[in-house]
Amino acid sequence: MAHCIVSEAEALLDREIPVLNKGFVRLVDYMGGDARVVQSARVSYGEGTKSYREDAGLIDYLLRNRHTSPFEQVVLTFHIKLPVFVARQWIRHRTARVNEISGRYSVMKDDFYVPEWSDIALQSADNKQGRGETLETDAAEAVRETMKNGQKDMYAAYIELIDMRVARELARINLPLSVYTEWYWQIDLHNLFHFLELRLDAHAQKEIRLYADTLLMVTKTVAPLCCAAFERYMLGGVAFSKEEFAELQNRLGNGGAGEGAGLTGKALERFEEKLRTGRRT
């Protein structure tokens, strides 16, 4: 079993997995896997000390009870090409080691992200940071053309400044957020799971969710038991506040009198949506 897992992960090393129109995720290197988490938890260095089922049970127990330090023993390094606007959301997760290409030293490539027509949408009426109704095909294509023309003009102006020998650190400053950047991103499994829990959520922007999907797919080849536990207890689990739990107890007939009475208005709506969708709101 271990041999198959290693072979699958090794097969992905240095393979660029496409994301968006010109981006990718590439697994550069990794250290450890399921066995490392188990060994760390048992403070043991010998393989085969327990059965495969017992190892899976231990990993489930650790993640279910948020005993996170053994997962920090597994480290993955990715090479990622992504639009700057995605990178600026991504970098808010300050638990990784990052080295990004510098526009002060390098001439930026003529690589820009343009959404597919099916992803062009109006501003959401009830979500200040999200999309709402999608546009008809012709209107969406018109938006795409506007984006592409703006990118073309901005890049032409950038190259003109470069040709004038204007300092690269100045020439780059008018480039749009849609230009692609690249970085090496190294993170331990515990913090990667936290990143994935947030960025695979339906409320995250679609573009970063696609990168998160790819990261999870790759990580499954390195630590499949850990990823299965992550999907069970973190990605597929829902946490309730004290007031929400009291409301849930009341509905099950287990709560004390009036314990859930304070859950009204928006708080009650969020609770109801959480029960319907299985997602935090």
- Pick the catalytic residue from 66, 199, 251, 280: 199
With 0-12 / 13-18 / 19 or more C-beta atoms within 10 angstroms meaning exposed / middle / buried, residue 202 is exposed
Measured distance CA(190)–CA(75) in Å, rounded: 9
Q: Is 199 a catalytic residue?
A: yes
Classify each residue of 26-65 as buried b or exposed e, where b means 16 or more C-beta atoms within 10 Å of its C-beta: bbeebebbbbbbbbbbeeeeeeeeeeeeebbebbbebbee
**Residues 6 or more apart from 158 whose CB is under 8 A from it?**
108, 171, 172, 174, 175
Continuous H helices in the chain? 2-12, 34-42, 52-64, 84-90, 137-163, 168-171, 189-199, 206-222, 224-230, 242-251, 265-277
Q: Which of 110, 103, 64, 79 is nearest to 226 (CA)?
A: 64
Cα of first residue to Cα of last residue in the chain, in angstroms, is 39
User: Please, are residues 166 and 182 in contact by the beta-carbon 8 Å criterion?
Assistant: no
Catalytic residues: 199
